[in-house]
Amino acid sequence: MQHYTSPDGADNPVKRTRVPLFSAFFMIYIFVSGGSFGIEEMVSSSGPGLTLILLLAFPFIWALPMALIASELGSALPHSGGFYVWTRRGLGKFWGFQAAWWWSLALLVDTSLYIVLSATYLQHQIGFSDTVYYLICWSIIAVFTAINLMGIRVVAIGSSLFAILIISPIVVLAFVGIANWQFNPFIPITPPDTDLLGTDGALILGLSVGLWMYSGYESMSTLAGEIEEPQRIIPKALMLALPFVALMYLLPTAASIAAFGHWELFSVDSGDGKVSFVDIGRALGGSALGHALLASAVLGNLALYLDYMASGARPIQSLARDGLLPSVLARTSARFGTPVMAILLVAGVNAILVIGPFQSLVIIDVLLMVSSYALIFIAAVRLRVTEPDLERPFRIPGGNLAMILLVLPPMALIILMVTITLGDHSLMLWNQDRFSLLGIEIGWYGLAGLVAILSGPLLYPLFRKQ
């Protein structure tokens, strides 16, 4: 291991660990995907044809810009904290804090939800009391906290094992579906009698879920300060993961539609005539494939929790080092070089959130996450202008104009998603009451998202006074 020294020359006990290329590749796959489960909602809501078109388009208009920017800025500023360091350097400490704060709030809810989903899958299949349910949740938190405290190398090994177990059943489902091909998976493009461009139409539904499925390429950057040669490893891993994630979404989805049909029944929740990828695998490949896909769904959520606990702790530690969070959160393990107090904070919040009915808060994740993404895109463009001589081992070709053109499509999507979230539509387009705020009609979930966004500017002066 190598000790990491911060850019200002101050001693920093964080240690660099060698992470092989394919371990980094598997970690990024889990950050972004963690399996193909969830696309079923796109199929039934947006239609099979539009779903496949969006799965083909999103890698270019959303995932590729973020992957390229993460590669360029990660190679130029390979420090612990990742995108927080980029936005702070490009836009100043205030906006750097906002990017890290919004992203961390969304992640704390997300990581808790991954635990709940894993335990819920098991409870539905095995059947046990709520007491056992909570014990399982807390046991997962304890085990994965211990793994994270032991360092990035252990997390990378665990991620690689998880990824192989997750991917294998999905690949089998794709092959079985192709072998039983019966229908044109692109027909119909959208559900009959559906308004394509309306606020409750097929396109909005597909964009909402698709954007979520292709997010996460910036997450690996937060670990750059603890990886040997991050300028070389992370950009290569990002470029390998980008097409692989797209194929792991596209192939099983197209094959399932073509072999099973009945696209209108696709849903993440089985029962009442609905079918998930697990049910489709059971119908096409027998109970063994069904069980394997169920295990893939559970392991996918566990893998997401493992990696996002690691990723989420680093911006919190970086904020604490900059005096924008309590200094105790900056403490690093002398033995493992990991941000021990930040990891324990994530674990403690997760242990509380799994108790209450917090799932409705997930709706604000879209608003929080895309707001931090907008700052990353703006910081990337500004750093090109203000620091043209900054050494960038990986550089997006084409000059500043190419950079601006690259970020325009994802910025347009962000504006669209903010508009949707602040209205009476959300990630799952749940029904909600509306009220008038300064003459603007806004939904309750939109209000919750707005409060979460405003908490950053409101808390910044308080934390800065430390």
For the stretch 73-83, pLDDT in tens is 988 888 777 88
For 136, other C-beta atoms within 10 Å of its C-beta total 18
Instruction: Show the tokens assigned to 463.
Output: 């934390």
Higher pLDDT, 121 or 83: 83
Residue 408 has pLDDT above 90, yes or no: yes
Residue 287 belongs to a domain with what CATH number? 1.20.1740.10
Query: Tokens 């702790």 label which residue?
Result: 313
Q: Domain for residue 190, yes or no? A: yes
Range picked from 124-128, 154-158, 196-200, 227-231 for highest mean pLDDT: 154-158
437 forms beta bridges with: 440
For the ranges 158-167, 214-223, 354-363, 370-379, the one whose mean pLDDT is highest: 370-379
User: Would residue 39 count as lying in a domain?
Assistant: yes
Number of domains in the chain: 1
With tokens 């405003």, the residue in question is 454
Structure tokens belonging to residue 205: 């539904």
Say whether 41 sits in a helix, a strand or coil: helix
Which range is least confidently modeled, 17-21, 191-195, 331-335? 191-195
Cβ neighbors of 288 (< 8 A, separation 6 or more) are none
pLDDT of 434 above 50: no
- Report if residue 11 sits inside a domain: no
Q: What pLDDT is recorded for position 407?
A: 95
pLDDT higher than threshold 70 for residue 7: no
Strands 434-437 and 2-5: unpaired
Cβ neighbors of 344 (< 8 A, separation 6 or more) are 145
- 355 lies in some domain: yes
Peptide bond into 188 cis (omega under 30): yes
Model pLDDT, residue 153: 83
pLDDT band at 372 (very low <50, low <70, confident <90, very high): very high
Q: Region 417-435: what's the mean pLDDT?
A: 51
Residue 3 lies in a domain: no
Question: Angle 207-213-214 (CA atoms, 0-180°, nearest 5)?
Answer: 90
Return the closest-CA partner of residue 345 out of 97, 162, 108: 108
CB distance 357 to 29 below 8 Å: no
Structural domain boundaries enclosing 262: 21-464
321 inside domain: yes
Q: Which residue has the higher pLDDT, 41 or 147?
A: 147
- Whether the Cβ atoms of residue 31 and residue 311 lie closer than 8 Å to each other: yes
Helix-helix angle 48-58:202-213, to 10 degrees: 40
What is the reported pLDDT for 210? 82
Going by pLDDT thresholds of 50, 70 and 90, the confidence category of residue 440 is very low
The pLDDT score that the predictor gives to residue 360 is: 52
Exposed/middle/buried for 417, CB within 10 Å: 0-12, 13-18, 19+?
A: buried
Asked whether 376 and 69 are in contact (CB, 8 A), the reply is: yes
Q: How far apart are CA 91 and CA 385, in angstroms?
A: 12
State residue 420's pLDDT score: 66
Residue 311 within a domain: yes
**Residue, of 448 and 298, whose pLDDT is higher:** 298
Distance from chain centroid for Cα 42: 17
Q: Is position 8 within any domain? A: no
Alpha carbons within 13 A on the beta-carbon side of 84: 27
